[in-house]
Structure 1
Amino acid sequence: MFYNRRHWGGYSIREREQPEARKFVENPDLPSPEVMTKLLNLYFIYVHPFAPVFVWSKFLKRLQNRDYSPSFLFVLNSIFALASRFSDDLSFRTDPTKPQTIGVKFAEKAKAILDTIYDAPDMYCVGGLVILSYQQMGTGGGYRAWMFIGLAIRMAQHLGLHRDCMKLNPHMPALDREERNRIWWACFVADRLVSATFGGPQGINEHDVDATYPEGIDEENTLLEYRLDNAPIMLTGPSPHSEKNFVYLASLTRIMGRVLVSLYSPLSKASSLSSLSMTNPAPLEQLDKELTDWLLTLPPHLQFRSVQQEPGTFVSTLHMMFYATLILLHRPYSHQSPHNTNDWTISLSICTSAANNTIEIASNLMRTTDEHRDVPRLKCLLHMAVFIFFTAGLVHINNCTSLDPVLAASAKLRTVETLRCLNVIEDVWISGKWCGNNIKNLLKSRNIELPCSVEGMKSEDQKKKKKKKKNFFV
């Protein structure tokens, strides 16, 4: 196969720059240095561990030199749009009374820039699309999230990011290889998460990929700090080892993708209504082994011991994603049917345990305060948390109708806790409210009564929110 230079670094943006893009370079219209620093630091704390779309030293050098190409401005505004969702600053909202409008002005600016650089994609363009896709998830823009990640995939493949850099260009500098691999796997993770969340087909065929995982290297000092134009606070950059930790998320989403293809795609045997539907244990046994191997190979600092140890947000999210994947794998096998000759109670037990563990972790995040902000740690999660909670909630709802009274009673309590978690996170991601409403509708359709009033629970939580908001303005 023939590869030209776009496959090992991309055209220079200035080489193919569109005339319409020049207006953004001439007038970047960026926030003040203080606001930029705040938003970038929020990105590094809450987003970069899940989407490391650049190498810190190279990114910092462009900031220092004010090298504002259109694609760099695009990724900056995409970052601002997503990072602002983790801020309590009302000035970031287009409507101060509506939390869902936070960051919209940055997202609109990013989209305006994107319209001018379609024909000149580079790696920053791909990275910005990944970030913008995350921003659109859970804000009422699910379709746009789907389209943005699809566009990112095509641009990344056009640039050859899905290929092994050493095969394309053995002389490529190590830092350039690292950046390409980070952006590709951030794109891959986002593709799997968007597919799982919205139930659509995956955009990346794993058999087309031989790109290696990022190694977490940054040859120009990973602990660099910088002050933007005399801003009162320092720009600190990503935490050490965040890129190496990201590799474990990427490898987990690879397994998730295989689960979705093997058990949920239209032509998979598991989705068939034939007598073979649940009698073939091969996908279950193989994928279950892959998940077990993944868990056993986690380094000590990423292992989850107990909620009493208050594991970090990344570790908590990583393990909740593991439990969600486990539920997706075993859920088709967890229902008794004439065609299911396997011991369905084992899969049901695994789903129940995974759902229980998920809500236990989420409850801990809801009741503890983030070290960087005076809010529950639950509000510091990306949108993937909504998908995780809803996946666990479906297991609890199913168990609410169990003939085992102990299991049913426990499931009802955990359903209440799931609704509490979704109620808390809806301030950041409006889709949390929609998923909560879906759970309530399912409860109503099955005539399931919870041990406490859902509306009363919500009113109590709203009182706490109002009290906190009042203190905020004091």
Structure 2
Amino acid sequence: MRSVSCDTGLSDEAIDGLLLIYETFIHPHWPVIYLPALRSLRALETQAPILFDAILAISAANSDLTQSPAPVALGERITRGPLSSLSETILESVRHRILASLYSNRSDLATVQALLIVSLQDLGYGRTSLAYQMGGIASRMAIDLGLHNVGPTAGANGGVGDGRRKQEQCRTLWACFLLDKILAAALQRPPMLRLADIDAPRPSVMERDELDLWLSGGGQHFLKPQAAQAMECVKSHALSSFNSWCDIGIIVETVLDQVYRPAARRARAEGVYSQQADEATMQIDAELRRWRANLPEHLQWRDEDGAAGHANAGPHVLTLRGWYYTCMLLLHRPRVPYLQETYENDHDLDAIHALQRLQQPDPSSSLSDPFHRLPKGVDASRAAANGICSIMEAYESTFRIRKFPSSWVYLVFQAATVHAGLASHAGRARGNDHLNVHALSPLRVESIQRLEQCIRWLDDMSVTWASASSHVNILRNLSAVGAKTRPPSPQPDAAGSFDAGQLITNNNTGRMLPPPAPDNMTGTAGGTANDIIDDWTLFWALMPASDDAGLWHSFNDMFASS
């Protein structure tokens, strides 16, 4: 089996440019290849041709702007470059050869690594079923090869070559695990490779691709001019970042199991309270916060600095942080309707605090509020969505938009779903494009602005990754659905307090929530108070965890006007 690179018409210079893209942007995310053992990635052209071609395919998908050092102006439309079709051609060749090898009962480490790359590219192109299948084959082939039982990477009887082989095996196995979690979350499907199945150590961080400068191979022209100098001395830290990302993958697996499994979603839809679910949420939240506190110093960041707090970080480090926020978002988003901040008065923060005090559980009561012990879901969800947006701002100011990993479509979309729900308002739901932002709270205005920001990013990313193209309509529909279901805020009196008669109790949750809207405000026309609150609860509780368009159409259909 030989590489197809000699049949593509690419010059050696063009191939070297594609390999530089891979080593600069893709390898730090997925360090499956043991680079310290290679003088150059060109060695794979003869050693592992199927992997070499997969590298060319995914690099070509990101290559359109590599020849132009001029930055793209804000709002300027980026078009697909000449290597996009070549990327598809090589990808199909790799896929065909992989499937043929299965018929011949041939499998090896390079094939697993190629499958990882193929699945990531299919995910970006919106071929979700194919991505899931290719990722599944990668996981099962890794198990078939025994990678999940790799022993210690250094032993008394192990030579240098043996240590390198085990390192590459460990890297590939954990990459399969991480890809599996991405696919499970992005497609809302069961994981195929679980932590309980793995008895392999993590990759060692005492390697060249951990300690080398991120731009040691060149590639400064991939950065915005104002960021190139600051990034020149940044170390890669690819392996410590990868190991920390695997830790987040483990937590993602727990979130999907505890929060998004069918039984849990059904219980939320039926308004069934579960103390076990509450305890699981608190434990996962605490685990996420411990993970962040225990990060090594070179991976730490500060939220209060916004986009500036993410400056001078490599793209893989930003991806790691983005998945932390996404995990936090997925954990807390279903609980948004149970928390009083969702129903803030549009003008008066004192009124918000008064509503909070009114809704505090009675300490003398034998029945404690089942939600007061949990983190405030609306605050945690909004903060996580804003965190993703801050990372995007830092990414956009440093790197070219075309260099985004395919999984970033999912991260940006998840942030947008939170802001679409919190930004929902009556005017948008009734087809009125004019919005008087002065009549809304600062938090609502922020969500509206963040939503439009996410839509712009997704539109830009859709040029490289077609999976982003359907998301804009989904988000517009989500905002309209949120406007239909969202109860209005109760109005305070002159003293800033609320009449208890303005609040009603949701029969399913026992929470004190605002009354239904009149016909000229948000809310389902003709519905009862509990109907509106139940719709608002279902809106958040059953919001899909994925970015699969079919699931979102079914979700929107639940709230279609009769």
Fold in common (TM above 0.5):
yes
What SS does the aligned partner of 1:162 have?
A: helix
Is 1:419 equivalent to 2:455 in the alignment? yes
Asked if 1 retains the 8 angstrom alpha-carbon contact of 2:336 and 2:378, the reply is yes
1:270 CA drift (Å): 7.5
Query: Within 5 Å, which residues of 2 pair with 1:13-52?
Result: 21=1, 24=2, 29=7, 31-52=10-31
| Cα gap change, 1:196 to 1:269, in 2 (>3 Å) | closer
Asked if 1 retains the 8 angstrom alpha-carbon contact of 2:210 and 2:236, the reply is no
Asked if 1 retains the 8 angstrom alpha-carbon contact of 2:28 and 2:236, the reply is no
The range that moved more, 151-160 or 309-318, is 309-318
Pick aligned residue for 1:161 from 147, 157, 168: 147
Match of 1:359 in 2: 389
Distance 2:110 2:27 in 1: 14
Asked if 2 retains the 8 angstrom alpha-carbon contact of 1:333 and 1:340, the reply is no
Match of 1:397 in 2: 420
Q: Which amino acid aligns with 2:308?
A: Q
Match of 1:438 in 2: 474
Asked if 2 retains the 8 angstrom alpha-carbon contact of 1:81 and 1:104, the reply is yes
What SS does the aligned partner of 2:469 have?
A: helix
Q: Which amino acid aligns with 1:186?
A: A
Q: Which runs of 5+ in 1 are unaligned?
A: 1-20, 228-237, 449-474
Q: Which amino acid aligns with 1:429?
A: W
Identity of aligned residues (%): 23
1:239 CA drift (Å): 6.7
1:140 CA drift (Å): 2.8
Match of 2:231 in 1: none
What SS does the aligned partner of 1:117 have?
A: helix
Asked if 1 retains the 8 angstrom alpha-carbon contact of 2:424 and 2:480, the reply is no
Pick aligned residue for 2:169 from 180, 187, 212: 180
1:407 CA drift (Å): 2.3
Match of 1:254 in 2: 250
Is 1:75 equivalent to 2:51 in the alignment? yes
Pick aligned residue for 2:135 from 146, 149, 164: 149
- Report the structure number with the largest CA radius of gyration: 2
Distance 2:395 2:317 in 1: 12
Distance 1:240 1:120 in 2: 34
Match of 1:4 in 2: none
Q: Which amino acid aligns with 1:214?
A: P
| Cα gap change, 1:428 to 1:301, in 2 (>3 Å) | same
Q: TM-score, normalised by structure 2?
A: 0.65
Match of 1:117 in 2: 101
| Cα gap change, 1:100 to 1:437, in 2 (>3 Å) | farther
Distance 2:472 2:217 in 1: 42
1:260 CA drift (Å): 0.6
The range that moved more, 196-205 or 397-406, is 397-406
Q: Which amino acid aligns with 1:250?
A: C
Match of 1:56 in 2: 35
Match of 1:11 in 2: none
Match of 2:324 in 1: 322
Match of 2:312 in 1: 311
Q: Which amino acid aligns with 2:164?
A: L
1:32 CA drift (Å): 3.4
Asked if 2 retains the 8 angstrom alpha-carbon contact of 1:279 and 1:341, the reply is no
Is 1:406 equivalent to 2:408 in the alignment? no
Asked if 2 retains the 8 angstrom alpha-carbon contact of 1:396 and 1:412, the reply is yes
1:112 CA drift (Å): 2.7
| Cα gap change, 1:98 to 1:35, in 2 (>3 Å) | closer
Q: Which amino acid aligns with 1:341?
A: P
Distance 2:208 2:443 in 1: 54
Cα distance per residue 1:27-62 (max 9 Å; x no partner): 964643322211111011111111112101334478
Match of 2:115 in 1: 129
| Cα gap change, 1:439 to 1:45, in 2 (>3 Å) | same
Is 1:347 equivalent to 2:377 in the alignment? yes
Match of 2:87 in 1: 103
1:123 CA drift (Å): 0.6
Query: Within 5 Å, which residues of 2 pair with 1:229-378?
Result: 240-268=236-264, 271=267, 273=270, 275-277=272-274, 280-305=277-302, 306=305, 307-308=307-308, 310-312=311-313, 313-336=315-338, 341-343=370-372, 346-366=376-396, 368-370=397-399, 375=400, 378=401
Distance 2:378 2:80 in 1: 45
Cα distance per residue 1:282-322 (max 9 Å; x no partner): 21111111101110111122112332251322222221211
Q: Which runs of 5+ in 2 are unaligned?
A: 68-78, 219-233, 340-367, 427-439, 485-562
Asked if 2 retains the 8 angstrom alpha-carbon contact of 1:269 and 1:277, the reply is no
Asked if 2 retains the 8 angstrom alpha-carbon contact of 1:55 and 1:179, the reply is yes
The range that moved more, 103-112 or 272-281, is 272-281
| Cα gap change, 1:79 to 1:239, in 2 (>3 Å) | farther
1:274 CA drift (Å): 5.8
What SS does the aligned partner of 1:335 have?
A: helix
Distance 1:66 1:97 in 2: 24
Asked if 2 retains the 8 angstrom alpha-carbon contact of 1:279 and 1:342, the reply is no
| Cα gap change, 1:266 to 1:409, in 2 (>3 Å) | same
What SS does the aligned partner of 1:308 have?
A: helix
1:82 CA drift (Å): 0.9
Asked if 2 retains the 8 angstrom alpha-carbon contact of 1:264 and 1:270, the reply is no
Q: Which amino acid aligns with 1:303?
A: Q
Task: Give the superposed CA RMSD.
Answer: 3.5
1:271 CA drift (Å): 4.7
Cα distance per residue 1:160-193 (max 9 Å; x no partner): 1112423999845221111110001111111101
